[in-house]
Amino acid sequence: MHSLQGYFTKKTMNNKNISHWTCKSCEVRSPMAVLWKNGILLWALAAGLAMLIFLPGAAAGGTISVAYRGSGGSYIGDTIIFDGINTIGNTTLLKITGPGLPEEGLPPYNLNGAPGSGNTAEVNPDGTWKFVWYTSSIEGIEKMQTGRYFLKASSLYGNGETTSTSVLMKKPEFYIAATPNPVTAGNYVQLTGVAEHSSDSAKIQVANSSGTVLHAFTSPVSSSGYLSYGFHVDMPPGKYTITVTDPAWSSPYVTSLSVIQSPEATTTNAIADQSVVQTTNETLPKVPSTTSIPLKPTRTPLSELLVIGSILIAGIVMLSGREKS
């Protein structure tokens, strides 16, 4: 026993005649001391700080804003631009409420949609977003009235924070839009309009650049002043004038329609002429998607945080095992 005293130390417990031997070389240190000695604690603190900096919304919750660019009043049929900041998630969800619309909100592009659903706008890397609202392309535009409407913005996969802005919408004496425009020869074009005052029907005339009337139609008009009429485009490529008249209006409404050649016809002509012809592609307003239920997380996925935590725990356990051995 004497030969082992250099390796062991005898300790007395509570001043009693009870003693035990402890190993001098088997120094027991606290977990914090083990972490500090190996730099793991510092590394963990640095990693946590980086997560707070580079994962906005994970710690502070982020912010969201929305603004309307304009004087605050627009006619139904105008193009309106909304924008803002979203540091909560990668997608901004937009809903509209107002006269005759449910409190839960509807997609700005579909007033016939499910209450509570909305359209989306992607968030740029710097946290900004923009939403272009072509009000002439609204499905269910007949529900729009003269009044104040509210656009509500929230993050699709966020913390529930919602902000809003308002815009005063007014029915013009009359407004009509052709969709698509330009239109390919041989396809159909849809005329959609809304009037503040109207009779039961409106007359539509399509004329060429020389003023010659090629087509004349009569379209019914709803009690709310809504007009929708489609016709087959059998005219050759060129610029055409669409004139809509109604006894209740002080003057006719005139808009233009561009007819372009179909890609098939252009290709056929190019082969026949042995020349290269550049075709014109139709450019239509992009209608944002309608979203009702979030499907997946975006900016701060929980799975990534769990992986980081698992790596930290595994490293701590391994180093603790090395210290004890």
Q: Look at residues 251, 144, 126 and name the one whose alpha carbon lies nearest to residue 193.
A: 144
pLDDT of residue 303: 44
Whichever domain contains 151, its CATH number is 2.60.40.1930
Do 205 and 262 fall within a single domain?
A: yes
- Please report the sign of the dihedral spanned by the C-alpha atoms of residue 35, residue 37, residue 38, residue 43: positive
pLDDT of residue 250: 76
Do 76 and 135 fall within a single domain?
A: yes
Tens digit of each residue's pLDDT (9 = 90 or more) over 17-59: 544 554 444 444 555 555 455 555 555 555 555 554 444 444 4
Query: Would 228 be classed as within a structural domain?
Result: yes
Residue ending a domain, among 170, 188, 220, is 170
Residue ending a domain, among 126, 142, 170, is 170
What's the number of domains the chain is made of? 2
pLDDT of residue 213: 95
Q: Which residues, 6+ apart, have CB-to-CB distance to 75 below 8 Å?
A: 169, 170, 171, 172, 175
Residue 254 CA to residue 239 CA, distance in Å, equals 13
Q: What is the three-class DSSP state of 79?
A: strand
Do 90 and 109 fall within a single domain?
A: yes
Do 156 and 81 fall within a single domain?
A: yes
Averaged pLDDT, groups of 10, the chain, 325 residues long: 50 51 49 52 54 45 88 81 95 96 96 95 96 89 90 92 94 82 92 80 92 94 86 94 86 88 62 38 49 44 52 61 56
Structural domain of 197: 174-273
Residue ending a domain, among 132, 147, 170, is 170
pTM over 0.85: no
